[in-house]
Structure 1
């Protein structure tokens, strides 16, 4: 029932928006190793910060640091030692101050402040001591010689563990440069991109393909006040040997300022990169101005959204706290050129602390550094719509827009028709991962396909990014025109490719009803060699309808896409325990994975849900489909918490959400994983965020449905974003909505409450 809420308005009033500052994370003891690190970041830089044996250590990572093998390398490690040591006092405290994105270390009246400039790639470490101290600041690297890797260690790069050869990572260049340490990693003119292009038979069109790796150079400079070179060090951290370049204080002082300035560019000449670094350094503004702007950015970040649960259900309170912590991790790459990777983002640490069977360097993560697994990535980014973090979202959308010409060129080369073909395991240069494409594949196999039983014919995740683009425009009011070429190209691929495949089998391009035959297809990675997969059908239908709703199409294009809608086959159903349920597809040959794609028409596509026809059938699918019941889990990328919320299964949604957003079991509560991927598992956190949001607020067109799957005993204070530039803010206490603000006020009539 839709309410105009006249009585509620009288009770709640039109109270002004409340300010919000998240609670800090405070540790009272130092850490044992990097697995007990605390995240800090800003712009596109992430730090793992911890104190171990009286020394401050920081892993530094920056978005886009892809080496010649397409691993995502750490920038290095910073070690800070003070004499006398002010970090051994019994009053030690390490605080992640979420409200301004910084870490404060306290020991007695001594202070260390660690923070990252949001607007410039600069890391700051500032020491304030009650008595004069000396500082030793050491830049440490494990890439001081050429390194080779075989087998499992290549899971960190594009070659993967299936590659039969040896992979070499070139050494970094590191040297003292006056009273500073200069360091960088530089890719040569030939990288894994070139091998992939040749392996996939695309050498003749290589000049049309996007290459982000050639001559990519990334690094920076460590410098500070009152410092001078103090020689080299060496040692071993975990399983990895390292070398260090040490700077030390010329004289004892009560105040020390350390700074790491970073720079990344693709430059054919090294001198151009060095000039770019100097230009970056020349643009660094005063410390005070930089800090004030950074703190102000974080304040605005927290002001635009929050979700805080209180009450007796401590696990629910914990889930909301960890929702906030994960959002913070995403905010650390709000200004990055490259999206946050699902398999650790900017905050991976020594891999043997994740898996003892992985005694590799700190650069290691499973599932690659430049490889973007689409189903995982979309879970990381969809929650950014309701939090209003479209600046965070931008890098993921730009990733796909940048790769459109490559995806279209690939389609045209292999099959001679139009449309963009985006595969599930997608490299940052737009081609399938070469290992998943198959190092050993039959010569006669279709060269456009991955020779892989999980990934073959899996194209349709690109449609979810089409939806993300359309939603971004609908939420913010921005012009959707920049997305139309991408969306139309993705739809065109399905239209033309499946007619092309039908003509390979026979004389007709469509079935007897004039519809596409989506075979061979795939329902996620689970139901393979599928005939008319429901996940694909729902995606094609919803994206096409949303495209038509933009009002930006010419009459000719509008007519074309209206015709395409009539060619999309209908959804399929089956029976389970005598009840109608959504089928994964009309037919399929085998089951490979556990993604429950028969529920994708519920999420992300919203064909079924609360207030819509067929809700009972969709609920039956969740409750009685035997495959779904075996697959229900809160672990990793599984979405059952989201499905349950979308279906109004409140108890089930609450149960799974508390498990998914519960403490990670690691010192930092939001470092989940490894799950199916790695630690921190960002698609674990993203799917948790989505589920909690969907419990609290669901939107469909202009409708805003509040508390559709919300336990009555969970008190909550929230501020979320809805489509059409709308903000919904409220407080729910003791089973009553005590405050509700809708901005703009004209959208209040679109709100539906369950009471």
Structure 2
């Protein structure tokens, strides 16, 4: 179809006819029980994630909550619940149904006329897990709380990949036992961190002990756990068992025989006294769940689904590839919503939905707490892919957890810079602990005596501090989409840019007499283009990020940034080198950098000016050179893949390469091969692989909608044989809705303002 301009009228006050809340066909229903925890369904809300499955007629679920870090910086599960009914209805006519629209799971069973339904849901306003048992006949319920941390554990070898120690623990690692209390009305289970934690060890390792009291420490006195309300339950006994490879202790509680029963569990973690923690966690379950609480949660999910959607070939069924891609997009977006309001961001390496690691790798006979690449360690290259798609999906309320992660660590990052190098600016490393310092294993325990104390002694991560720029740009986009207030984040953005300005002048002065090159430009050396092109001179991924963030910063309204500061950043832009190019077989391509010493990984940062930095692509004069880079750069083609954090599907979408984008998307968002279709991975990380799902979401969104200045490109990279119904968000409060069917638009609407559309 040739390009033509279409000016759309404003549509106000009415919902579209797209039926965006019609998600029934995307619900997941199983009519056979699961073999093990790997065949679980995700359930959650606010900051809680549950893996729910039925095995041998018992209902089980793991419990996880954002921010539940122990002294080793493992992100702990909060135990496992087992519900056993008698007489057990699940032996007959079994079904387990995840209902997306209402955010709950229904488990049903029983002979005709004797049916029982068990409903599980999480209150999105109070972090309370609710279990409702309703039957035709009276049923007794046994509730088991099961814990593998009933005694001290001693993780060794690869098992320490779940914490901050990884392959280099400085001493014997101990996971201290949890504590358990049966009280008249409540059963408490919690982990109370020891006085000395990973924070203390890392601060000493990185020569910051004199500044320890000035650093943010999220592990000190942290208590994580929860309470089971005993309103309808009586404590019976304790005992021991084994699930897969892991021994556990259980606490069993019985209910009276009844047609209806309600059970509640509240999870909570905080840096608090034990008395304060108990007071907070019990307040949430003091009273039975009200209809109002249920109604508010249902309203939250309805509003969530009304924000946006992408439905492909919805008139078909799961035998169709396009249908499965659309369904899996919605399933993964649902998984992200389960940690909508967590204290900490959704982790790239499993989120809140990891399970027994033996089902990922049979040699990993570890506890259910295990995940690869750490629990309190946040890898920026991976985390970014989890949060970028929330802009287009309109889920801006879910993004502050990621922004606050950096903002609360700003003081630590600035202090680190001042101590090591004596200048200003925040230095955030790639493998970043939740207290703002490099991961100790990546920092290196066996370092040369004269090695710069501010640099990680690591071939992959040295000099890599530009990834914070993506989150700075994300914050600026967050403002641009719906005019969200970002005043509290301006110091973070300015400090992140200041680091590059001052640090690379500092390094130049150490090498010679001049801080700038002969053209008056900064010299970004030593730099790194992602983890791949190392010891690079003016890496383009870094330059593109600096240019984009500084440019956007200089255009903010004066309510956010003064004229004086905006002028400063305009001058900083003038000090930045231009993007560099290279020739291969006579064709100009975007270069990774001017030169580099070696390659360490398999990323394609020469295309980062395409995504995330919005400098090359559809609707821009630069499209041809970017396409040539994608198609002709031998490294890009060698590394081209859909697996894990690889983002070639996004590049292809941004460059209008329809066949490439469709092929990579089809592999990226195809069924995972596990019982739950969106439990992808492990890829390079773990299961479920959230940066796999996030990169898939981004690529699909970009195939449908791209913005260049005041223009919106609709279906710029869309395979026309796929029918699609979509609602996506753009800059300046624009909401684009459309339906493409049988090779033509049957509806296209732009809400909130007139915008130039190119289709």
TM-score range, shorter chain: over 0.9
Partner of 1:297: 300
Deviations along 1:20-42, whole A, 9 cap, x unmatched? 23231101100000000001000
1:7 CA displacement:
9.9
Q: Secondary structure at the match of 2:554?
A: helix
Q: Is residue 558 from structure 1 mapped to residue 566 from structure 2 by the alignment?
A: yes
Question: How far, CA to CA, are the matches of 1:604 and 1:682 in structure 2?
Answer: 18
Partner of 1:607: 615
Partner of 1:30: 33
Are the counterparts in 2 of residues 231 and 245 from structure 1 also a CA contact under 8 Å?
A: yes
Question: How far, CA to CA, are the matches of 2:455 and 2:618 in structure 1?
Answer: 38
Question: How far, CA to CA, are the matches of 1:217 and 1:693 in structure 2?
Answer: 39
User: What's the TM-score, normalizing by structure 2?
Assistant: 0.96
Deviates more, 1:67-76 or 1:204-213: 204-213
1:9 CA displacement:
11
Partner of 2:78: 75
Distance 1:342 1:7, change over 3 A: closer
Are the counterparts in 1 of residues 128 and 284 from structure 2 also a CA contact under 8 Å?
A: no
Partner of 1:253: 258
Q: Superposition RMSD on alpha carbons, in Å?
A: 1.7
The 5-angstrom pairing of residues 334-349 of structure 1 reads: 334-349=340-355
Partner of 2:670: 662
Are the counterparts in 2 of residues 576 and 626 from structure 1 also a CA contact under 8 Å?
A: no
Match of 1:747 among 742, 746, 754: 754
User: What's the TM-score, normalizing by structure 1?
Assistant: 0.96
Match of 1:200 among 195, 206, 210: 206
Partner of 1:105: 107
Q: Secondary structure at the match of 1:59?
A: strand
Q: Secondary structure at the match of 2:167?
A: coil
Q: Is residue 404 from structure 1 mapped to residue 400 from structure 2 by the alignment?
A: no
Are the counterparts in 2 of residues 530 and 587 from structure 1 also a CA contact under 8 Å?
A: yes
Are the counterparts in 1 of residues 672 and 680 from structure 2 also a CA contact under 8 Å?
A: yes
Q: Is residue 502 from structure 1 mapped to residue 504 from structure 2 by the alignment?
A: no
Partner of 2:6: 5
Q: Secondary structure at the match of 2:423?
A: coil
Q: Secondary structure at the match of 2:394?
A: coil
1:179 CA displacement:
4.9
The 5-angstrom pairing of residues 310-389 of structure 1 reads: 310=313, 314-389=320-395
Partner of 2:280: 276
Are the counterparts in 2 of residues 263 and 280 from structure 1 also a CA contact under 8 Å?
A: no
Question: How far, CA to CA, are the matches of 1:18 and 1:360 in structure 2?
Answer: 45
Q: Is residue 592 from structure 1 mapped to residue 596 from structure 2 by the alignment?
A: no
Are the counterparts in 1 of residues 417 and 426 from structure 2 also a CA contact under 8 Å?
A: yes
Match of 1:44 among 35, 43, 47: 47
Partner of 1:20: 21
Are the counterparts in 1 of residues 521 and 575 from structure 2 also a CA contact under 8 Å?
A: yes
1:490 CA displacement:
0.6
Match of 2:98 among 96, 99, 102: 96
Match of 2:744 among 728, 736, 739: 736
Are the counterparts in 2 of residues 673 and 684 from structure 1 also a CA contact under 8 Å?
A: yes
Partner of 1:262: 267
Partner of 1:492: 498
Are the counterparts in 2 of residues 458 and 521 from structure 1 also a CA contact under 8 Å?
A: yes
Q: Secondary structure at the match of 1:167?
A: coil
- Gaps of at least 5 residues in structure 1 are none
Question: How far, CA to CA, are the matches of 2:148 and 2:245 in structure 1?
Answer: 11
Question: How far, CA to CA, are the matches of 2:476 and 2:427 in structure 1?
Answer: 19
1:17 CA displacement:
6.2
1:101 CA displacement:
0.6
Are the counterparts in 2 of residues 210 and 406 from structure 1 also a CA contact under 8 Å?
A: yes
Distance 1:9 1:481, change over 3 A: closer
- Gaps of at least 5 residues in structure 2 are none
Distance 1:43 1:14, change over 3 A: closer
Question: How far, CA to CA, are the matches of 1:38 and 1:433 in structure 2?
Answer: 32
Deviates more, 1:586-595 or 1:555-564: 555-564
- Number of residue pairs aligned between Structure 1 and Structure 2: 745
Are the counterparts in 2 of residues 577 and 624 from structure 1 also a CA contact under 8 Å?
A: no
1:279 CA displacement:
3.1
The 5-angstrom pairing of residues 222-241 of structure 1 reads: 222-241=228-247
Are the counterparts in 2 of residues 573 and 582 from structure 1 also a CA contact under 8 Å?
A: yes
Deviates more, 1:219-228 or 1:392-401: 219-228
Distance 1:244 1:7, change over 3 A: closer
Deviations along 1:426-461, whole A, 9 cap, x unmatched? 111111111100111111110000000000000110
Distance 1:323 1:36, change over 3 A: same
